[in-house]
Amino acid sequence: MYIGHVGAALTAMRVRRSIGLLVLLLATYAPDWVDTGLCLANVYNPQGMLSHSIPAVLVFMVIGFTAYAAATRDWTGGLVIAALILSHLFLDWITGYKPTWPGGPMIGLRLYSHPIADFFVEGAVIAAGTLLYARTLPPSRRPWVDVSIMLGALLALQLTIDIAHMVMTSLPKC
Amino acid sequence: MTFQQDFFGTHFFYAIRLAGALLIVTLVPLLIDRRFRR
């Protein structure tokens, strides 16, 4: 999943308003940031065993929970961060094709191969997250404008990615 | 091999591209949120 992960972060903001959006966005994309580091170090695994497998994500969850809880003394917030990191795995199983554990099967619905379906599924996650996030905003005379700006920007990003998938035959991550 | 051919196939290029994409998807919602809460 691409921008759908932002939808998960916006949902988490509704769950625990004290957590900053930057922290939530870093947590929701944690496995992809790990992929960036692996790519830079020239040890990237195309299947994502070190970044998107169940054991890898469990390690990131423990690190995320410990780091956030230790820094803020907010244990519930740490659990939200861990759950958000876990959500990356579940959302990627909808759209991608990811490893389970070393020697285990690859699983996923591979919606990336169907960009239009991917856009609607990710759009639904983005829309749900944005609507929940809207409840965290300060009172506004035109709240629907705020929701529309956030929703429109995120859907535009998602559309750009899906069009790129339709136009390009191959879009390697690393 | 030109410089372009050398650079665009490197892991460094792909890592920069991936980091750039992640920065964009982080900064866009973050900046919009900041504007809402000003």
Q: Which helix (H) or strand (E) holds A17?
A: none
Note the residue count of chain A: 174
Instruction: Answer yes or no: is A173 within a domain.
Output: no
Q: Provide the pLDDT for residue A141.
A: 75
pTM over 0.90: yes
Q: Give me the mean pLDDT over the A62-80 stretch.
A: 98
- DSSP letter for A139, please: P
Separation of alpha carbons A140 and A162, rounded Å: 33
**Is A174 part of a structural domain of the chain?**
no
A91 neighbors A118 (Cβ within 8 angstroms): no
Q: Is residue A25 part of a domain?
A: yes
In a domain, A103, yes or no: yes
Residues with Cβ within 8 Å of A71's Cβ and at least 6 positions away in sequence, in order, are none
> How many structural domains does chain A have?
1
Residue of A nearest to B34 (CA): A21
Give the pLDDT of residue A174. 87
Q: Is the pLDDT of residue B2 over 70?
A: no
* Helix pair angle (A143-167, A4-15), 10° resolution: 150
Q: Which of B15, B28, B30 sits opposite A39 (nearest CB)?
A: B15
CB distance B26–A29 less than 8 Å?
Answer: yes
Residue of B nearest to A149 (CA): B32
Tell me how close the Cα of B19 comes to any Cα of chain A, in angstroms.
6
- Locate B20 and state its tokens: 């750039």
Chain B: give the shortest CA distance to residue A103, in Å.
Answer: 26
Most confident of A88-92, A163-167, B3-7: A88-92
**Per-residue pLDDT tens digits for B3-34:** 566 777 788 899 999 999 999 999 999 999 99
A157-162 average pLDDT score: 97
CA dihedral angle for residue A154, residue A78, residue A94, residue A53, rounded to 10 degrees: 130
Residue A47 belongs to a domain: yes
First to last CA, chain A: 16
Residue A85 lies in domain:
4-167
User: Which residue in B18, B25, B32 is closest to A150 by CB distance?
Assistant: B32
Residue A87: name the closest of A128, A27, A40 by CA: A27
- Residues A108, A78: Cα–Cα separation, whole Å: 28
CA distances to A41, A54, A137, B14 from A38, rounded to whole Å, are 5, 17, 37, 11
Q: Is A19 helix (H, G, I), strand (E, B) or coil?
A: coil
- Alpha-carbon distance values, B8 to A39, A82, A172 (Å): 14, 35, 12
Q: Say whether A9 and B18 touch across the interface (CB within 8 A).
A: no
Task: Judge whether residue B1 has pLDDT over 60.
Answer: no
Q: Is A49 on the interface with B (CB under 8 A)?
A: no
Domain-located, residue A172: no
CB neighbour burial string for B3-27, b if at least 16 within 10 angstroms, e if fewer: eeeeeeeeeeebbebbbebbeebbe
pLDDT in tens, A132-141: 999 999 988 7
A138 touches chain B (CB under 8 A): yes
